[in-house]
Amino acid sequence: MRVIVDFDLCESNAICMQIAPDVFEVRDDDFLYVLEENPGEDRRAVVEQAVQRCPKQAISLED
Amino acid sequence: MVRSAVTIVGASLAGYWAAETLRRDGFEGRISLIGDEPHAPYDRPPLSKKYLAGDLDDDRLALTTAEKLADLQLDLRLGCSATGLDVAGRTLEVGGAAEPFDGLVIATGTRCRTLPGTAGLAGVHTLRTRDDAAAIRDALADGARRLMVVGAGFIGAEVASTAIGRGVEVTMVEALEAPFGRVLGVEMGAVMADVHRHHGVDLRTGVGVEEVLGDGCVAGVRLSDGATLDVDLLIVGIGVVPNTEWLEGSGLTLDNGVVCDGTCLAAPGVVAAGDVARWPNPRYGELMRVEHWDNAVQQGVHAARRLLQSDEEATPFAPVPWFWSDQYDRKVQLAGRPHPDDEVRVVAGSTAEHRFAAFYGRDGRFTAALGMNRPRQVMQSKGLLEAGSSWDEALAFAAEWD
């Protein structure tokens, strides 16, 4: 599973960071950084929740 | 709980996510999604921002692609209203005809309050739907020059910010002394007021609208302090009312929304989600109705699952609410449930610079975090709120920030 962020859409609401802090981080420069582009299968449910709850729908998953 | 079919009334955020969740979880029965608007499910937050500015087209507003929507294999009925419900008889009235239901999700949302005496007057708008937003966008494109926003709430503030960006003169009037005071309290309301004035909004507080002037089309507004202003576009943002009239006599409890139990169940086989649902959030020990985007997503998911669970399997819906609002180049985020009288402390940055995080607390409890261009800190604070951190624990955590 690969995490893809559309940075044209991302507005750094940081909800993804709160849901999956091992995968997403919004730093003090207010930009989102993807810490783990290929999270393990055990993280799928959590990352899917980040996809769902991103207010900009900027995150997608590729198998 | 084995069900053969689920009917979802309301095809916006909560209704869409209820349908998506049922399929994702493997439900193979029929799912009917009934929406009164003609459009496929779309996202509302951009309506007062990018869509209003003309920077986002209809396709990009959709909650999902046509292909993914088709994959859900829904009985999608758009431009179609449910007009009645009989819980005991297990029937729903749609377009005047009764039809049986098995499981039911109520997600009919809210509608805007209107200003008395403005019915039929051109140039007076509320903003809830895509069509509302398109009408305001077109009025701006047609050369509206003097816009008034009635009610300093978040939607009105976003419209003001978008209009200022297009070079329109904007006046915002608020009946209370502090804009946003009901949500943010006086001190942080004043910071919000400063942001708007800094960008050129003529913000007038403690005044109401006495009379809307114009013959066929709005021409001006007379305020309660006697001032009369020329206005060619009037945006009314004075709150919403839940769409529950169609449920009168249904057997459900209606009281400022559809009253549910802590698991979002309103009656056997009937759940409610999103802006229309009022439920006892065990985290706060009170009935609440939340009008935020994230709540609609989460409650849509929770309610859909509840419908397929037994009473023993059901879990309470206990979120810490949060929302965001984009105004000018500022992102405002609030997590938690502040009371206007709570103690407020700025814990990072500076309000003068319009970049800060502030905590709300009372009686040793940490109740909410507000941020302006501080998403990292707000979301970390949301985690603290979910963990039930005390005021002192939250302050100690924030002491590490700056």
The pLDDT assigned to B22 comes to 98
Domains in chain B (CATH in brackets) are: 5-111+240-307 (3.50.50.60), 114-236 (3.50.50.60), 329-398 (3.30.390.30)
The pLDDT assigned to B1 comes to 81
Residues B376, A30: C-beta atoms closer than 8 Å: yes
Q: How many inter-chain contacts (A to B, CB under 8 Å) are there?
A: 42
| ipTM value | 0.93
Phi, psi dihedral angles at B208 (to 5 degrees): -115, 175
When mean pLDDT is compared across A4-8, A12-16, B106-110, B176-180, the lowest value belongs to B176-180
From the list B297, B301, B379, which residue is nearest A14 (CB)? B379
Residues of A in contact with B378 (CB under 8 A): 14
DSSP per position, B43-86:
-SGGGGTHHHHT-S-HHHHBSS-HHHHHHT--EEEES--EEEEE
How far apart are the C-alpha atoms of B304 and B105, rounded to whole Å?
7
Residues A17, B379: C-beta atoms closer than 8 Å: yes
From the list B43, B45, B379, which residue is nearest A15 (CB)? B379
B334, B323 in Cβ contact below 8 A? yes
What residues contact residue B320 under an 8 Å CB cut-off, 6+ apart?
B283, B335, B336, B337, B382, B385, B386
From the list A18, A27, A52, which residue is nearest B382 (CB)? A18
* pLDDT tens track for A43-52: 999 999 999 9
Nearest CA in chain A to B374: A30
Residues B43, A28: C-beta atoms closer than 8 Å: no
DSSP state of B214: -
Q: Choosing among A46, A52, A61, which should be mutated to test the B contact, i.e. which has the most B CBs within 10 A?
A: A52
Q: How many CB atoms lie within 10 A of CB B131?
A: 12
Nearest CA in chain A to B385: A18
Strand segments, DSSP code E, in B52-182 are 75-78, 82-86, 91-94, 97-100, 103-106, 110-112, 124-125, 146-150, 169-174
How far apart are the C-alpha atoms of B131 and B133, rounded to whole Å?
5
Kindly report the CATH number that applies to the domain delimited by A2-62.
Answer: 3.30.70.20
pTM: 0.96
Residues of B in contact with A18 (CB under 8 A): 379-380, 382-383
| B132 alpha carbon, distance to own chain's centre | 15
From the list B324, B373, B379, which residue is nearest A55 (CB)? B324
The pLDDT assigned to B146 comes to 98
pLDDT in tens, chain B (402 residues): 889 999 999 999 999 999 999 999 999 999 999 999 999 999 999 999 999 999 999 999 999 999 999 999 999 999 999 999 999 999 999 988 999 999 999 999 999 999 998 999 999 999 999 999 999 999 999 999 999 999 999 999 999 999 999 999 999 999 998 889 889 999 999 999 999 999 999 999 999 999 999 999 999 999 999 999 999 999 999 999 999 999 999 999 999 999 999 999 999 999 999 999 999 999 999 999 999 999 999 999 999 999 999 999 999 999 999 999 999 999 999 999 999 999 999 999 999 999 999 999 999 999 999 999 999 999 999 999 999 999 999 999 999 997
Rounded-to-10 torsion of CA B294, B298, B300, B304: 170
